[in-house]
Each structure stands twice: as C-alpha cells, then as structure tokens.
C-alpha cells in the first residue's frame, strides 16, 4: 500500500552554460514519490534522465547549474541546504547507485574499506563494528563469501559484483530514498535479473522509495509502481505502470512502446522517427511536434502542459490518445 510522500520535486530546472549557449537539460520536472514505491523514469538517451537524477542530490558540477525549483525530502528543500547539511543527508537519507560501477568505485581501496568509510562518516561506530556491519551488508546484497569480498579491489570483481557493492554502499545507512541510475547497464540479462531482484527485496525490507532511471521499458515493467516518461528535459507523461503500458496517452510514449522487440516477431520494429530537439534551442511549442504524425497547427504554436486525462494519469499533449496502443502491453 502507498505510504507517506517522502520526496517532492517541484519545477526543477538544470542548465549547462556552454560557449554555444545555455543547454536546458532539465526543464520543469515535478513529481511526488511515496515510501516503499518505485518511480521509473524512462526516455531516450539525452532526454535529461541522469542529469535530473544528479540534480536531486546536487551532484551537478559546473558548467551545470540548478537554476530553480525545489527538491523536498520529508519537507525540507535540499537545494536550500548548506554543503555541510547536505553532506549529512547524502547516504543517510537519500543515496544513489551510479551508472558505471567501475568508475564509481575507488580502484585503490578495497571493497570493505569503501563500504566501511560510508558507515563511519555518519555513524559513531568503532572500526570493528563498521567491519561487522559491512560484512552483513555484503551478504545482504547477495555477494558470496563476504569475508573474502571485503579485502578485494574493484578490478577483482565482476560487473554484477561491483554493482552489488554500490547497492551495499547506497543502503548502508538505510536511506529513505534510493536513486538508481541505469543500475543494469552493461550487465547480461541473468545478472540484470539478480540485481533488480535485490533492489525489490531490499525495498520490501527497508520500505525504501526508489527512483529508477532507465531506458529499458522491460525493466520498468517489472520494477516500477509508477512511470514518468521524459522528453527534451521534461516529463510528458506520468501514470501507474500498468496504465502506461496498457493505455499510453502521449504519442512519444506510444512510439517508445512500438519500438520494443517482441518474442515471435509478429510486430515489426518501428523506430521513433526524426531526431530529438536541440536543447540549446528548445521551441516555445510542443518539442515532440516535428516527430509526431498527429501534430497540427496548435501543436506547433502552443506548448502543452502536464495535466490529468483520467485519475492518476497525466499527459502533456494537446491531443492525448484515449485508446490502448496495439500490442503495447509487455
């Protein structure tokens, strides 16, 4: 059952000031996440998913800048905290599993040292107590022989094992919100299933809310309670996961669903036509209009706003679909 809202993002904007101009990477994103629930964020590469994820924890480096908006965790705005206050929040109340485990882990420190450092930086524990907690975490995320894993370096682990170490670090302090940025990238399907299974199991155990960033709609179908579809830095559709797959309302969502390969080959793949817009020059009208077969004069003149088309289903489109897309259900 849904619980209390732990994370509220309101009108978040993140830009990159470049010699060519201002890149509008995140353009007015808003959503609410409840405890024990998973929100899947999907979209093409370059749509702003990862920048949005990093913005939630203020991990955007120059020339990136969070220009406006609010990120409220249990009521207080993370964007208004001092660096010292934010340091106490990161890891303890909101944590992140980064996209590339090889570059996210320190290559010259053992796995055990890296997990223990996270624990010792927030909790008043002895080195021995931190070691015991680390061993328990390594076992909890499914790593075999935690005692040996504790003394290994990242290069001595497989991709799936490194990803589990990142999950152990992220969950070391039982945060209220976990951001998983493409947690199964470059992993084979068997390891993907294991990693996603661990996330689901740990979510159930700790009642952690998860923001799952991915381009894989199959992963979203199996993991998410709710789905937000991003395009050109903005959310263009948001609904419960079942509703998204059975009754997509935005033409971009429909196009994404039709681009998924299916067993049996009954449906020919239909790539999304055209190219995403230049984030340096976002139009004042619907950003998807040049790629949309149903676009009309209004679409090329007015920018649609995200609004409800039915209970719990929001769509930013002047002409939202009302019938399920054929073959959309995964």
The 10s digit of each residue's pLDDT in 315-324 is: 999 999 854 4
Q: What percent of the chain has pLDDT over 70?
A: 94
Q: Which tokens is 214 given?
A: 């991915």
- pTM, to two decimals: 0.90
Q: Classify residue 90 by its DSSP letter.
A: B
Query: What does the pLDDT look like over 40-58, one tens digit per residue?
Result: 999 988 899 999 999 999 9
**Nearest alpha-carbon partner for 226 in 8, 34, 47:** 34
- Is the pLDDT confidence value at 330 over 50? no
Question: How confident is residue 111, by pLDDT bands cut at 50, 70 and 90?
Answer: very high
The residue assigned the tokens 């001092």 is: 82
Q: Which tokens is 163 given?
A: 């990803």
Contacts of 123 (CB under 8 A, 6+ apart): 130, 173
Give the pLDDT of residue 194. 81
Q: Is 299 helix (H, G, I), strand (E, B) or coil?
A: coil
What's the gap between Cα 60 and its chain centre?
15
Give the pLDDT of residue 322. 53
Cα 29 to Cα 141: distance, rounded to the nearest angstrom: 32
Cα 184 to Cα 192: distance, rounded to the nearest angstrom: 5
User: Residue 43 — φ and ψ, nearest 5°?
Assistant: 155, 170
Mean pLDDT of 91-115: 91
Cα 329 to Cα 34: distance, rounded to the nearest angstrom: 25
Other C-beta atoms closer than 10 Å to the C-beta of 283 total 14
What's the gap between Cα 200 and its chain centre?
15
Picking from 16-30, 94-108, 116-130, 237-251, which range would have the lowest pLDDT averaged per residue?
94-108
Other C-beta atoms closer than 10 Å to the C-beta of 127 total 9
Query: What does the pLDDT look like over 189-229, one tens digit per residue?
Result: 887 888 888 888 878 888 899 999 998 888 898 899 999 99
- Is the pLDDT confidence value at 38 over 70? yes
Q: Classify residue 46 by its DSSP letter.
A: T
Give the pLDDT of residue 1. 43
Contact 197, 142 (CB under 8 A): no
Q: Which tokens is 66 given?
A: 């969070």
| Cα dihedral 289, 237, 323, 320 in deg (nearest 10) | -40
Cα 41 to Cα 96: distance, rounded to the nearest angstrom: 14
Q: What percent of the chain has pLDDT over 90?
A: 65
According to CATH, the superfamily of the domain at 5-224 is P-loop containing nucleotide triphosphate hydrolases (3.40.50.300)
Contacts of 111 (CB under 8 A, 6+ apart): 105, 138, 149, 150, 151, 152, 153, 154, 157, 165
Question: How confident is residue 267, by pLDDT bands cut at 50, 70 and 90?
Answer: low
Give the pLDDT of residue 78. 95
Mean pLDDT of 138-156: 93
Task: Report domain extents, the chain.
Answer: 5-224, 234-315
CA separation (Å) from 68 to 23, 103, 221, 257, 328?
14, 30, 32, 32, 36
- Is the pLDDT confidence value at 268 over 90? no
Contact 304, 318 (CB under 8 A): yes
- Is the pLDDT confidence value at 328 over 50? no
Give the pLDDT of residue 266. 58
- Per the model's pLDDT, the better-predicted residue between 167 and 184 turns out to be 167
Query: What does the pLDDT look like over 179-190, one tens digit per residue?
Result: 999 887 767 788
Cα 35 to Cα 94: distance, rounded to the nearest angstrom: 12
Q: Classify residue 266 by its DSSP letter.
A: -
Query: What does the pLDDT look like over 270-312, one tens digit per residue?
Result: 778 888 999 999 999 999 999 998 999 999 999 999 999 988 8
Cα 168 to Cα 173: distance, rounded to the nearest angstrom: 9
User: Residue 171 — φ and ψ, nearest 5°?
Assistant: -100, 5
Contact 260, 217 (CB under 8 A): yes
Sign of dihedral through CA atoms 138, 144, 149, 152? negative
Mean pLDDT, the chain, whole residue set: 89
Question: How confident is residue 262, by pLDDT bands cut at 50, 70 and 90?
Answer: low
Contact 182, 215 (CB under 8 A): yes
């Amino acid at each position: 059952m849904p619980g209390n809202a732990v994370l509220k993002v309101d009108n978040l904007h993140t830009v990159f000031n470049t010699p060519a101009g201002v890149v509008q990477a995140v353009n007015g994103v808003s959503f609410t996440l409840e405890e024990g629930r998973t929100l899947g964020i999907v979209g093409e590469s370059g749509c702003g998913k990862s920048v949005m994820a990093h913005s939630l924890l203020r991990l955007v480096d120059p020339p990136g800048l969070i220009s406006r908006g609010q990120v409220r965790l249990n009521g207080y705005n993370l964007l208004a905290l001092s660096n010292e206050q934010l340091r106490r929040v990161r890891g303890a109340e909101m944590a992140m599993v980064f996209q590339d485990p090889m570059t996210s882990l320190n290559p010259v420190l053992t796995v055990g040292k890296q997990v223990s450092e996270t624990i010792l930086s927030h909790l008043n524990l002895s080195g021995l107590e931190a070691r015991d907690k680390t061993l328990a975490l390594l076992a909890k995320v499914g790593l075999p022989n935690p005692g040996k894993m504790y003394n290994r370096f990242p290069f001595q682990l497989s991709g799936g094992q490194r990803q589990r170490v990142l999950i152990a670090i992220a969950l070391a302090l039982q945060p209220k919100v976990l951001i998983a940025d493409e947690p199964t990238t470059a992993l084979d399907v068997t390891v993907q299933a294991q990693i996603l299974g661990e996330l689901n199991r740990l979510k159930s155990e700790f009642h952690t809310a998860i923001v799952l960033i991915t381009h894989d709609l199959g992963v979203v179908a199996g993991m998410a309670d709710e789905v937000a579809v991003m395009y050109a830095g903005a959310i263009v559709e948001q609904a419960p996961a079942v509703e998204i797959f059975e009754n997509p309302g935005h033409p971009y969502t429909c196009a994404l669903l039709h681009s998924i390969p299916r067993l049996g080959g009954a449906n020919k793949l239909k790539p999304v036509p055209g190219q995403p817009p230049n984030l340096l020059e976002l139009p004042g009208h619907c950003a998807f209009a040049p790629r949309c077969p149903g676009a009309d004069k209004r679409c090329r003149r007015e920018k649609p706003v995200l609004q409800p088309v039915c209970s719990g289903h929001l769509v930013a489109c002047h002409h939202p679909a009302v019938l399920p897309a054929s073959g959309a259900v995964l």
